[in-house]
């Protein structure tokens, strides 16, 4: 849709430049434009008539077109392609060419309009549409198609605009959740990771103090397994020795030194925290990308909607104006000077 809209703008610029550069007669007489070395018909005009022909065939109307730059009585009654001052392509039936008054009368499908020979020669692209139906029928068919096309373009742009707006709201909620996950995950990873580091630097080791002896009474006391850090074990041994306990040789044996086994809960919670933090970061990055992307869509659809609104206004103006000159030279000059 955006590509088609941009192409439409480029086509209008091309058509306005075509109107600006095209030679117009100035003697108020019927002109055989082939003698004036006419400018080549813009490609957008050819593309447009191709679409009209294909659409007409789809409506069971036989259609074709010819190119004839001769503006004389031989084309009276035929349907001609013209360009209005806004750069829009229109189709009219030439109903009369009056050389004495210097006026060209046309049927637009919604009424009659008059142009001077200079105005019509400037607007006429040289393309003539031929069909097997009446002029009013084909003109009304074209007008209906153009109106429907404008409505479809507007609806499509509005739909994309609304979807992009809803996606921005959705991703805003997801980014809020992602931020919460990131904070919780970071806290868990740091807290339990610190506990694991402390366990590694000062490991808790399970020892078996098989027996101790009380020197004065010869009393044997069995202590069994105990889990202590190395620092705590050294302190315990020093205190027992000070109090008179005697440790048997070989009575202290290491039964387990396994950091993961002793701290598996902390390890699991640390991993969970890392996963939550990474998930939060991923959602934040995706949210930022999607927000930027959909913001650009909203911006572009706003441009398309404004352009479509202008085109619709011009189209309604084309239908509403009756028996007036809409291709005044002063109007053309104002467009060229403003452009």
* Greatest mean pLDDT among 28-32, 62-66, 67-71, 101-105: 62-66
Q: What is the DSSP letter of 70?
A: B
Distance CA 84, CA 48 (A): 14
Distance CA 101, CA 117 (A): 9
CB neighbours of residue 148 within 10 Å:
10
The whole-number pLDDT of residue 44 equals 92
The whole-number pLDDT of residue 244 equals 62
**Residue 227 forms beta bridges with which residues?**
206
- CA nearest to 122, candidates 39, 46, 24, 41: 24
Specify the DSSP element, H or E, that contains 245.
Answer: strand 245-247
The whole-number pLDDT of residue 158 equals 93
Distance CA 53, CA 49 (A): 6
- What Rg, from alpha-carbon coordinates, does the chain have? 44
Give the pLDDT confidence of 84-102 residue by residue, as tens digits: 888 899 999 999 988 888 8
The whole-number pLDDT of residue 305 equals 92
Report, as an integer, the average pLDDT of 290-316: 91
- CA nearest to 107, candidates 297, 322, 326: 322
168-181 burial, b for 16+ CB within 10 Å, e for fewer? beebeeebeebeeb
Compute the mean pLDDT over every residue in the chain, rounded to the nearest whole number: 78
Distance CA 246, CA 262 (A): 30
Distance CA 41, CA 80 (A): 13
Per the CB < 8 A criterion, the answer to whether 143 and 110 are in contact is yes
Residue 99 CA: distances (Å) to CA of 31, 69, 127: 10, 17, 21
The whole-number pLDDT of residue 259 equals 54
Give the pLDDT confidence of 23-62 residue by residue, as tens digits: 544 444 444 444 445 578 899 999 999 999 999 999 889 9
Contacts of 80 (CB under 8 A, 6+ apart): 91, 92, 93, 94, 106, 124, 125, 127, 128, 129
pLDDT surpasses 50 at 280: yes
The whole-number pLDDT of residue 217 equals 55
- Helix segments in the chain, DSSP class H: 2-21, 43-58, 117-123, 135-201, 230-243, 259-262, 264-320, 329-338
Report, as an integer, the average pLDDT of 276-299: 94
Distance CA 332, CA 39 (A): 18
């Amino acid at each position: 849709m955006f590509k088609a809209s941009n192409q439409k703008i480029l086509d209008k610029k091309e058509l306005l430049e075509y109107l600006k550069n095209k030679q117009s007669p100035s003697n108020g007489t019927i002109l055989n434009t082939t003698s004036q070395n006419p400018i080549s018909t813009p490609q957008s005009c050819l593309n447009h008539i191709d679409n009209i022909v294909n659409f007409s065939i789809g409506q069971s109307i036989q259609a074709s077109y010819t190119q004839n730059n001769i503006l004389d009585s031989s084309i009276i009654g035929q349907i001609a392609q013209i360009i209005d001052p806004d750069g829009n392509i229109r189709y009219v039936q030439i109903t009369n060419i009056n050389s004495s008054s210097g006026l060209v009368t046309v049927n637009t499908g919604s009424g009659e309009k008059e142009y001077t020979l200079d105005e019509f020669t400037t607007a006429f692209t040289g393309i003539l549409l031929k069909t097997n139906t009446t002029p009013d029928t084909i003109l009304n068919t074209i007008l209906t198609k153009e109106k429907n096309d404008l409505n479809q373009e507007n609806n499509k742009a509005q739909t994309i605009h609304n979807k992009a707006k809803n996606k921005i709201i959705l991703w805003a909620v997801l980014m809020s959740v992602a931020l919460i996950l990131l904070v919780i995950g970071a806290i868990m990873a740091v807290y339990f990771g610190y506990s694991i580091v402390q366990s590694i630097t000062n490991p808790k080791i399970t020892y078996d103090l098989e027996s101790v002896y009380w020197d004065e009474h010869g009393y044997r006391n069995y202590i069994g397994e105990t889990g202590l850090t190395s620092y705590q074990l050294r302190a315990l041994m020093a205190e027992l020795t000070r109090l008179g306990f005697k440790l048997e040789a070989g009575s202290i044996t290491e039964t387990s030194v396994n950091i993961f086994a002793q701290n598996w809960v902390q390890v699991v919670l640390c991993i969970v925290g890392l996963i939550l933090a990474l998930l939060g970061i991923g959602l934040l990055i995706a949210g930022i990308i999607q927000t930027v992307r959909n913001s650009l869509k909203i911006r572009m659809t706003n441009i398309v909607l404004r352009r479509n609104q202008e085109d619709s206004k011009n189209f309604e103006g084309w239908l509403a104006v009756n028996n007036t000159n809409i291709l005044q030279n002063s109007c053309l000059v104002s467009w060229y000077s403003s452009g």
